[in-house]
Structure 1
Amino acid sequence: MQEMQDLGTLQGDVLLFGGPYSNLQASEAVLGEAAERGILAGNAICTGDVTAYCGQPRETVAALRAWGCVVVAGNCEVQLAAEAMDCGCGFEAGTACDLLSAGWFAHVSREVDVAARVWMAGLPGMVVFRHAGRRVAVIHGGVTEIARFIWETSPEAVFAEEVAAIEAAAGPVDMVVAGHSGIAFRREVAGVMWVNAGVIGMPPHNGLQATSFAILSENGIEICDLRYDAREAFAEMQRAGLTQGYDRALLSGYWPSEDVLPSDLRESSRASG
């Protein structure tokens, strides 16, 4: 894995998205969004985890490689490149998320060939660029830990630690764009805007099928809904035998487990609040 890739100065809008998660239908939808907005592949950046929960990892990798967008290495890419036996997601051992990951990661590992693993091994751990007077860093989860779950409600010290690690490696930044945790948000900490662009391959545990991506323009960053053929993605998971719960999440909009979520973002907390 490369440590960092500097894209220089990007002109025009930039499309930022995370977690295709082997969801070919969502991946094709985000390519459609880029085409409709006139955004070329060099101005499209993925925060990693091209393959994960859904049914078409081989086809999803092929689609993104053919498009030629910039991809930051996620923990799934790192693990597959190393021929590891698990996804390295950072799930606590024995939790529902940990147990469910064994099924989908085995499917991904069977489907992803040597050429794709070599490509994954060459992906950067961080991408930096300049845009409309801002310097932006794009990472997966965190720099101190690639699979670090950072949420909108995480303590300020968590963001400060990560920004310090990013700036130690890459110099000063005005904005950080991350993925991994699966729920989009924006939060300013000590003058740096931290943006999670969300993921395109799985809904953000909100009861809706739409996923999310972000558009960076001269006016700032906007988080946008991505609509795609969730029923076809569900059918592909069924065909692949991936029926442990993430298949139903595509239609229900709710994850099969809240184990990974902090208590203040769980549905029970929202309902009681």
Structure 2
Amino acid sequence: MDKKIENLGVLKGKVLLFGGVYSNLQAIEAIAEIAKIENIAPENCIATGDIIGYCAQPEETIQFFKHWKAKSIAGNVELQLSENAEDCGCDFTQGSRCDRFSQLWYPYAKSKLTDASLEFIKKLPEFIHFTFANKRITVVHGSFFNTSEFIFKSTPWEKKQANFNVTQSDIIVAGHCGLPFHQEQNNLLWLNPGVIGMPANDGNTAVWYVILEEKNNLVTFEHKSLTYNHSLTNALMLQNGLPKEYAKTILTGIWDNTEILPETETKMQGKPILF
């Protein structure tokens, strides 16, 4: 798929940011309800990619997203599906547990998607730019340089700084790593709203998103947790033969493993996330 950047121009009002829907229909229904309650227009609801993933309803999730008319960039999963690739492109270590599990959920997702959904996926941009409260904001999946790059709070700032330099942005909104965090340096903000399709390894079934607001010509943001019908998500995963380890995570809030995590984030497993 050719690289594509969508410029949304100047956004006004609240902006809802979230990532990693992961084929979790119950979670996206819940976040859309939050948007309705907060009076946030669909065009101000922006996802960091990986609409498709570990859970049991990829086709239903894409159709819901399509009809909601929210915005999203393509995550690595969407890029791989667009190219009819045989793996998810998640950059897991070959032979790792995550890699082996992906050999179950990715073919399942691929088999469930209609041609119409694949066409929708192929049209997703790789990056989104917009201006908010006079700040230039760029939405990436992993990083601007590598869709599958895992960037965490503990990742050296130099790696993050390079993304600001190349995009000339004041704020980078990123996804992929599965953990919500923010980090400010040099008057720049790296903001990961987290994902809604899987818990954040904190021992809580709730998931994470962010709301941006403009107050006194300044950008403010708040990390918020989201509850949804996770029991149904778990049941559907088990019914459809998806990895039981990921289905268990939906109920426990604890990841099956910490293979992708740096030491700092690994030590946070099972601990409440506080902002």
| TM-score with structure 2 setting the length | 0.93
Residues 1:56 and 1:269: Cα distance change in structure 2 (over 3 Å): closer
CA distance, structure 2, for counterparts of residue 99 and residue 124 of structure 1: 29
**Is 1:91 the counterpart of 2:92 in the alignment?**
yes
CA distance, structure 1, for counterparts of residue 268 and residue 184 of structure 2: 27
Q: Kindly report the root-mean-square deviation, in angstroms, between the aligned alpha carbons of the 2 structures.
A: 1.4
Residues 1:270 and 1:207: Cα distance change in structure 2 (over 3 Å): closer
CA distance, structure 1, for counterparts of residue 269 and residue 104 of structure 2: 29
SS in 1 for 2:29: helix
CA distance, structure 2, for counterparts of residue 225 and residue 264 of structure 1: 22
CA distance, structure 1, for counterparts of residue 43 and residue 61 of structure 2: 18
The alpha-carbon deviation at position 189 of structure 1 amounts to 3.0
| Structure 1 residue ranges (4+ consecutive) displaced by more than 3 angstroms after TM superposition | 267-271
The alpha-carbon deviation at position 268 of structure 1 amounts to 7.6
Which residue of structure 2 aligns with residue 185 of structure 1?
A: 181
| Residue of 199, 202, 207 corresponding to 1:203 | 199
CA distance, structure 2, for counterparts of residue 231 and residue 114 of structure 1: 30
CA distance, structure 2, for counterparts of residue 124 and residue 184 of structure 1: 22
| Residue of 199, 214, 217 corresponding to 1:218 | 214
The alpha-carbon deviation at position 267 of structure 1 amounts to 3.8
Q: Give, as a single letter, the amino acid of the residue that structure 2 aligns with 1:230.
A: H
The alpha-carbon deviation at position 174 of structure 1 amounts to 1.2
Question: For residues 64-213 of structure 1, what are the structure 2 equivalents within 5 Å?
Answer: 64-165=65-166, 167=167, 172-213=168-209
Is residue 17–residue 46 contact of structure 1 (8 Å, CA) maintained in 2?
A: yes
Is residue 2–residue 123 contact of structure 1 (8 Å, CA) maintained in 2?
A: no
SS in 1 for 2:30: helix
Matched residue count: 266
Is residue 234–residue 250 contact of structure 1 (8 Å, CA) maintained in 2?
A: yes
SS in 2 for 1:135: strand
SS in 2 for 1:145: coil
The alpha-carbon deviation at position 132 of structure 1 amounts to 1.5
Is residue 49–residue 76 contact of structure 1 (8 Å, CA) maintained in 2?
A: yes
CA distance, structure 2, for counterparts of residue 174 and residue 56 of structure 1: 36
Is residue 159–residue 189 contact of structure 1 (8 Å, CA) maintained in 2?
A: no
The alpha-carbon deviation at position 227 of structure 1 amounts to 0.6
CA distance, structure 2, for counterparts of residue 267 and residue 205 of structure 1: 11
Residues 1:130 and 1:233: Cα distance change in structure 2 (over 3 Å): same
The alpha-carbon deviation at position 18 of structure 1 amounts to 0.3
CA distance, structure 1, for counterparts of residue 132 and residue 161 of structure 2: 23
Report % sequence identity.
Answer: 36
CA distance, structure 2, for counterparts of residue 112 and residue 35 of structure 1: 27
Residues 1:185 and 1:83: Cα distance change in structure 2 (over 3 Å): same
Residues 1:193 and 1:227: Cα distance change in structure 2 (over 3 Å): same
Structure 1 residue ranges without an equivalent (≥5): none
Is residue 52–residue 76 contact of structure 1 (8 Å, CA) maintained in 2?
A: yes
The alpha-carbon deviation at position 153 of structure 1 amounts to 0.6
Q: Give, as a single letter, the amino acid of the residue that structure 1 aligns with 2:230.
A: A
Q: Give, as a single letter, the amino acid of the residue that structure 2 aligns with 1:247.
A: A
Is residue 49–residue 75 contact of structure 2 (8 Å, CA) maintained in 1?
A: yes
The alpha-carbon deviation at position 243 of structure 1 amounts to 3.3
Structure 2 residue ranges without an equivalent (≥5): none
Question: For residues 31-50 of structure 1, what are the structure 2 equivalents within 5 Å?
Answer: 31-50=32-51
CA distance, structure 1, for counterparts of residue 146 and residue 135 of structure 2: 25
Is residue 100–residue 244 contact of structure 1 (8 Å, CA) maintained in 2?
A: no
Which residue of structure 1 aligns with residue 244 of structure 2?
A: 244
Larger CA deviation: 113-122 vs 7-16: 113-122
